[in-house]
Amino acid sequence: MPHNPPRRGVAKAREVMPAKGLIKLVLMLLFAGISFGVAGIVCITVMHLLSLVSIGQDSASSHGISILESSRLGGLSIFLIVIFYTAALIVFMDLTLSDVVGGPRFNAGIVIVMCSFLGLAEDIKNDFLTPMLRLGLKFLILGAFFWSSPGFMPEELGIFGLDRLLAIPVLAWILTTIFCVGFINAINMADGANGLVSGIGAVTFFIFFTEYAGPLSAILMFACSIFLILNVVSGRFFLGDMGSYGIGATIAILGLYAVAQGKMSPAFMSALLAYPCLDFLTSLTRRLLQGRSPFSPDNDHLHNRLHFQIKKILGGGVLSNSITGLLISGGSAGLVLIAYIGQWWPITSDNWFWLFIVECVLYLGAFKLSGRSKFAPQHSGPL
């Protein structure tokens, strides 16, 4: 049989792809090094190596936006960084675990770890736990925590009617637990574009660190930022359920604690975390109006719609995905960060509500103008 040489395009693709991968790796190392020095280079190298292991791999069809084979172990990588630096501070800086965690009690950390490992089980083996079982376990874990730690439950939010309900301990416990579980699901649902959730997380932990100077917040900010670089540049590493559950639970618990202690206003937290909350509520409402289960997954979130429009211009590659995520995280938490650094209002002021209103208008306008992208089941739903 005559020898048929490979087509030129195929041969060229085989040569170019490794080169592209090498260029991306160099860029990631460069960005990490400029931002965080040797520590950034080491951590992003570890994350990159972890993204290559066979466990926790996802097919491209499992995501509503990504078109690449990817790893769901981003949350595990963040967890390992937090554990390493926490241990290093205890061993080399002679700090106690309470010094590192700061503020909230130790049992809050146990709850966050439990929620994180609940997500890890799903990342390692898909459908290891049913969605309803995961939902029930989150209610059980967080309900037990708030019952034993009432100091984390805000007594008032400045909302007429709701404050009366919060004045009743049992109702306050129920409402706080529902909110916390809902917020974790909102973060999980928003994890659909490169840099979206990690960008919001990095901004949030930066503000927590700036306000309270807690080592744990600094470590989380660092870990989210390193993941953000890898996620945006490579497009092959995702937070997974462990990352979204862990980041969601951490932000919810620390945020509730800050509000309950009067250190941050509910209006500020609403503005800071506007996107996941608005997208979650919009998705639930949309599904109910369509006569569907509010927990059924779909690909009609704002990040899906926006990506659908951006890829018409830039194509469906990593760049379109990353621009989508950065636009949304920058236009929500990033906008709050600018206002926070500019000291528009004190962090305890209710005036942040006006910025939240602006974000609501931006969200609804973008959702309407971007049009419906597509309607199809997707792997990662709200549970």
Q: Convert the pLDDT of each residue in 152-183 to its tens digit.
A: 888 888 777 887 888 888 999 999 999 999 99
Tokens encoding 249: 């639970």
Contacts of 57 (CB under 8 A, 6+ apart): 69, 70, 71, 72
pTM of the predicted protein model:
0.86
State how far the Cα of 189 lies from the Cα of 210, in Å rounded to an integer: 28
pLDDT one-digit tens code per residue, 40-57: 999 999 888 888 877 766
Range with the poorest average pLDDT among 21-25, 80-84, 265-269: 21-25
pLDDT of residue 65: 63
Neighbours of 47 (CB within 10 A): 27
Q: For residue 182, what are its two tokens?
A: 């809902």
Question: Is the separation of the CB atoms in 268 and 348 below 8 Å?
Answer: yes
Q: Can you tell me the mean pLDDT for 321-348? A: 93
The residues spanned by each domain of the chain are 23-370
**CB burial of residue 40 (10 Å; 0-12, 13-18, 19+):** buried
**H/E run at residue 58:** strand 57-58
Locate 188 and state its tokens.
Answer: 């999980």
pLDDT value for 376: 43
Smallest Cα–Cα separation from 247: which of 200, 301, 182, 295? 200
On the question of pLDDT at 263 being above 80, the answer is yes
Return the pLDDT at 10.
Answer: 37
User: For position 383, what pLDDT does the model report?
Assistant: 56
Place of tokens 């990504």: 66
Q: How far is the C-alpha of 77 from the C-alpha of 247, rounded, in Å?
A: 12
